[in-house]
Structure 1
Amino acid sequence: MPALSEVIAALEALWPPAQAEEWDAVGTVCGDPDAPVGRVLFAVDPVREVADEALRLGADLLVTHHPLYLRGTTSVAATTFKGRVVHSLIRGSVALHVAHTNADRADPGVSDALAGALGLRVTGPLVPDPSDPAGRRGLGRLCELDEPETLAEFTERAAAGLPATAQGIRVAGDPGRTVRTVAVCGGSGDSLFEDVRRAGADAYLTADLRHHPASEAREHALHSGAGPALLDAAHWATEWPWTEQAAAQLDEVSDRHGWGLRTHVSRTVTDPWTARAASSEPATDTPGAPN
């Protein structure tokens, strides 16, 4: 079996830490570089439920997309839920490695996996990485459908292709409008609206769309007669396809080196929203209420 240091070197070749955003916290959180690795679990979130899954599985390494300590810490005491995760993993001899925005920018990256889950053909990055002469790395992806669909049909495609969550998929746009080109961004993507508009995409699928940017994008489309329909899926759901893609990438490395690694993908739904209740009646204007 390979040592943890060898597996980490392979992961960092797939998702170089230098390609992460400056504010990000990627890399190895805990683990003995000399410890042998035979089983690896991939997941989106390093939460207690996933750590427990890694322990039950007998994994030697847990790879997550989201950092455990994004903003840093001065303590890993088990008096906090994050500290308890660290203690549980160390006691169980499970290393933790994070690939976040470096996996977002990679080729293939998080948005490639999202496009693949929807059956879309990727034509290039939405925001190209200027350091990539091949023009393949970057944030988000521009995609095409093999055949045009209505927005309603594309919404059903997205709902069928992504794992189910309490949120489902929210849509802004005429259900009957034609969709040929799609921009996608795994995770929070409302900062990329201008890039989507410049690309001329018919629809934009991402997560965590805030009210004001989404409202402004919708009003811009109504005013100008151009602009994308919006599809807002759960953050976890848009990034989970990457875990399958990442496991397959490590499988290829393992086969090439004869490591014999066994990779697994967590299907534990770690989206924080667990239920939804629809309003019984549509909202009505109330005198004096804020608009």
Structure 2
Amino acid sequence: MSITGKQLIQAMEAYAPTSLAVEKDRIGLQVGDPDTEVTGVLVTLDVTEEVVEEAIRLGVNWIIAHHAVIFQPLKALRMDQPAGRLFHKLLNHDINVYIAHTNLDATAAGVNDVMAEKLGLTETDVLIPYKEDKLKKLVVFVPESHHEQVLQAVCEAGGGWIGNYSHCTFNLDGTGTFMPREGTDPYIGQQGKLERVKERRLETIVPESRLQQVIRALLTAHPYEEVAYDIYPLDLKGKMMGYGRIGKLPDPLSLRDLANQVKRAYGIEGLRVVGDFNQPVQRVALLGGSGSRHIHDAKRMGADVYITGDVDFHTAQDALAMGLCLIDPGHHVEHHVVPRVCEVLKWRLGNQVAIIPSTVNTNPFRFL
């Protein structure tokens, strides 16, 4: 059984909704055709020539990456230049490229949650919230025969969550009426005859970021030609979404011990540290990628130490002056999200297509 690029994109966006991306972020399908049949998917942090060659060697025609392959406007495509060679290989081998960037940073079980999990942080919260994930009430009327099927589809697509409880719904039996008219193809009933059907009213809460995925799942699982459903706005505060995480270590550690733990957890050869190695730390802020401009957010949230990449000299001085320790493990630690993306896509797509993590190390830095 095969899937199209559109189905792959739907699965990816059910995990990392595009609504979570910051304004003007370069996300989505950057190279290719969404209607293309998927022969296999390679998941990577970056799209380099070596990664493209890996995709060609594996016989896959889709790449899902975190960092955009087109970030600045292209002024030329010359085959004697690196960018031209890269795009020539992609197009010549019909390889499609889809990008999930800040939406993958912000989403649950995305870049920053994976980084926090690897360090064993508890009581985690969003470090830089920028979007409220507003809540909606979904109500749909389902024939008894398909009630369980629709309920499962809606909840697996992201509906029905209240805190750490999933599949939260309310269901009420009743009678639905309808009369199929000329040109209809009714699942139940006959044209021109008023039908009365035993149905169940199923209602549940859906975060706005998951609404379109839930509706698609609902329409796929529901047997009716025309599905009766309603969406109501709720005057309830939704979850704040954003990038970065802040949480606690189970027990205080010295800055030195935490730095060594970061090296082990993220599998890196070296890192940079700002602060007294003997200072005890427990409240930890982190932001995958380049987050030096958010040192004040980390301090405001009560962090003892802030873990992020690409820290510049003057930012390090400012952090030291304000009493905030820093650990810079580099930008590339974001690659730890790759296995999680593979897990999620395999769960959502089953065995319909091969999902493969890239083995190419795209980190440009080496340590002596």
TM-score normalised by the chain length of structure 1:
0.85
Aligned counterpart, 2:118: 117
Aligned counterpart, 1:242: 337
Aligned match of 2:365 in 259, 262, 273?
273
Question: How far does the alpha carbon of each residue in 1:46-82 deviate from its partner, in whole angstroms, 9 at most, with x for none?
Answer: 1111111111121221111111111122444434312
Aligned counterpart, 2:277: 175
Aligned counterpart, 2:225: none
C-alpha contact (below 8 Å) 1:68/1:82 kept by paired residues: no
Aligned counterpart, 2:352: 260
C-alpha contact (below 8 Å) 1:184/1:205 kept by paired residues: yes
For 1:116 and 1:85, the matched residues in 2 are separated by 34
C-alpha contact (below 8 Å) 2:126/2:246 kept by paired residues: yes
User: Cα offset for 1:246?
Assistant: 1.2
Cα 1:266–1:121 change in 2 (3 A) is: farther
For 1:125 and 1:146, the matched residues in 2 are separated by 18
SS of the residue 1:268 aligns to: coil
Aligned counterpart, 2:58: 57
RMSD: 1.8
Aligned counterpart, 1:184: 286
Gaps of 5+ in 1: 222-227, 277-291
Aligned counterpart, 1:224: none
Q: Where do residues 1-291 of structure 1 align in structure 2 (5 Å cutoff)?
A: 1-121=2-122, 123-132=124-133, 133-135=237-239, 137-165=241-269, 168-221=270-323, 228-237=324-333, 239-255=334-350, 259-276=351-368
For 1:264 and 1:135, the matched residues in 2 are separated by 32
C-alpha contact (below 8 Å) 1:112/1:122 kept by paired residues: no
Cα 1:123–1:164 change in 2 (3 A) is: closer
> Match of 1:244, as an amino acid?
P
C-alpha contact (below 8 Å) 2:248/2:284 kept by paired residues: yes
User: Cα offset for 1:97?
Assistant: 0.7
For 1:158 and 1:49, the matched residues in 2 are separated by 28
For 1:163 and 1:47, the matched residues in 2 are separated by 21
C-alpha contact (below 8 Å) 1:187/1:235 kept by paired residues: yes
SS of the residue 1:137 aligns to: strand
For 1:19 and 1:153, the matched residues in 2 are separated by 34
State percent identity of aligned pairs.
31
> Match of 2:41, as an amino acid?
V
For 2:255 and 2:31, the matched residues in 1 are separated by 45
SS of the residue 1:212 aligns to: helix
For 2:55 and 2:102, the matched residues in 1 are separated by 23
User: Cα offset for 1:260?
Assistant: 2.3
Aligned counterpart, 1:288: none
For 1:24 and 1:74, the matched residues in 2 are separated by 19
C-alpha contact (below 8 Å) 2:255/2:277 kept by paired residues: yes
For 1:197 and 1:216, the matched residues in 2 are separated by 11
- Find runs of 4+ consecutive structure 1 residues off by over 4 angstroms: none
For 1:15 and 1:67, the matched residues in 2 are separated by 15
Aligned residues: 264
User: Cα offset for 1:185?
Assistant: 0.2
TM-score normalised by the chain length of structure 2:
0.68
User: Cα offset for 1:17?
Assistant: 2.7
Gaps of 5+ in 2: 134-236
Aligned counterpart, 1:280: none
C-alpha contact (below 8 Å) 1:38/1:260 kept by paired residues: no
C-alpha contact (below 8 Å) 1:31/1:94 kept by paired residues: yes
For 1:191 and 1:203, the matched residues in 2 are separated by 15
Greater strand fraction, Structure 1 or Structure 2: 2
User: Cα offset for 1:130?
Assistant: 3.1
> Match of 1:120, as an amino acid?
L
